[in-house]
Amino acid sequence: MNSKWKGKSLISLNDLAEEEFGQIFELSATLKSKLKKGIPHRMLEGKTLGMIFSKPSTRTRISFEVGIYQLGGIGMFFNQNDLQLKKSENIADTAKVLSRFLDGIMIRTFDHQDVIDLAKSASIPIINGLTDLMHPCQVLADLFTILEKKKTLKGLKLAFVGDGNNMAHSLLHGCAKVGMDISVASPVGFHPNEQIVHETMETAKSTGSKIEILVDPIKAVKDADVVYTDVWASMGQESESSKRKKIFKPYQVNENLIKHAKSDYLFMHCLPAHRGDEVVNEVADSSNSVIFDEAENRLHVQKAIMALVM
């Protein structure tokens, strides 16, 4: 393993250099191949990953827990009631204590600042498993999936249709870093965070990516190589679900919208999907859909991340 990775935290894709994406993808492909061939790859023998969950999860917990096991280590699960984090103990003290016991921490939580603060005080790598602001591990798996299917990333166009949420933010960062064009279409008032859009635009100056923040979903999807969507109401926004369904209805990924993409487009969704809302079954279950490939690739990509940083 490249020594420069050891001890490094993964908080935002904006922190990675373009060549570091390639290093993650190369190791992901190697580890995936070894797993499929039944070749042991216990690169983290005796290592322990702490997994902190303030938000429930299917893919994140299982992929990290299985991943650290396949790498020869063990994973320890903590929900929000298992730790005194931000209750009777501040984040800095928790980070310093856990650093004495663990070799790495993956955290899936609401407030992005909690991940930043944890990394500031910890002496072990912190992996952002999801916050309300970003979802970097998911997007690394998404880009790896696109690379597998299309054999390249640079110059492709990804259209994200829906809420300008954590998925949109990490897709903006990731696409710009690897030289992909990205068009994000959201209703007025639901566009991505302005600071993240600014960071993306700055990156695009050197990588040549074209960045569009739009209202019109048809314009975003036009000639897209990849069409991506996500739920209209994320965790913590359940009370807004009915209101959001009305606002986002024109942004449903259906057969009428998808006909504007390239014929060999890939359909992507980070899952879980609310079928009949942001996407219809005819698209989610079509031959263009790679939603389960990207879900599987969470395992391989996150194993690569853990192997590099731990």
Helical axes 136-150 vs 291-309, angle rounded to 10°? 120
Active site residue 169: no
Helical axes 194-207 vs 166-178, angle rounded to 10°? 10
Active site residue 175: no
Active site residue 108: yes
3-134+298-309 CATH:
3.40.50.1370
Q: Residue 228 region, left (φ>0) first, then alpha (ψ -120 to 50), else beta? A: beta
pLDDT reported for residue 45: 98
Question: In this predicted model, what pLDDT tens digit does every residue of 118-151 receive, in sequence order?
Answer: 999 999 999 999 999 999 999 999 999 999 999 9
pLDDT reported for residue 235: 66
pLDDT reported for residue 238: 73
**pLDDT category of residue 236 using cuts at 50, 70 and 90:** low
- Unique residue bearing structure tokens 């036009």: 222
Structural class in CATH, domain 138-294:
alpha beta
Nearest C-alpha neighbor of 298 from the set 145, 146, 148: 145
Q: Which of 59, 135, 244, 300 is an active site residue?
A: 135
Question: In this predicted model, what pLDDT tens digit does every residue of 282-299 receive, in sequence order?
Answer: 999 999 999 999 999 999
Which residues face 194 on adjacent strands?
A: none
- Strands 157-161, 48-53: pairing is unpaired
Q: What is the mean pLDDT of residues 265-284?
A: 98
Q: Which of 59, 70, 103, 108 is an active site residue?
A: 108
Whether the Cβ atoms of residue 149 and residue 296 lie closer than 8 Å to each other: no
Question: In this predicted model, what pLDDT tens digit does every residue of 80-121 receive, in sequence order?
Answer: 788 767 777 889 999 999 999 999 999 999 999 999 999 999
Q: Computed from CA positions of residues 144, 147, 153, 156, in that sequence, does the dihedral angle turn out positive or negative?
A: negative
Percentage of the chain exceeding pLDDT 90: 91
**pLDDT category of residue 2 using cuts at 50, 70 and 90:** low
**pLDDT category of residue 1 using cuts at 50, 70 and 90:** low
Domain ranges in the chain with CATH number 3.40.50.1370: 3-134+298-309, 138-294
pTM, rounded to two decimals: 0.96
Question: In this predicted model, what pLDDT tens digit does every residue of 40-68 receive, in sequence order?
Answer: 999 999 999 999 999 888 999 999 999 99
Q: Which of 138, 169, 175, 277 is an active site residue?
A: 138
pLDDT reported for residue 3: 74
**pLDDT category of residue 237 using cuts at 50, 70 and 90:** confident
**pLDDT category of residue 189 using cuts at 50, 70 and 90:** very high
Q: Which of 70, 298, 300, 302 is an active site residue?
A: 298
Instruction: Reply yes or no on whether the pLDDT at 71 is more than 90.
Output: yes
Question: In this predicted model, what pLDDT tens digit does every residue of 239-254 receive, in sequence order?
Answer: 788 899 999 999 999 9
H-state helical runs in 88-233: 91-101, 112-121, 136-150, 166-178, 194-207, 217-221
- Round the average pLDDT of the chain to a whole number and report it: 96
Q: Which of 117, 163, 225, 230 is an active site residue?
A: 230
Amino acid at 251: Y
Active site residue 270: yes
What is the C-alpha separation between 175 and 194, in angstroms, rounded? 17
In degrees rounded to 5, what are phi and psi of residue 212? -130, 130
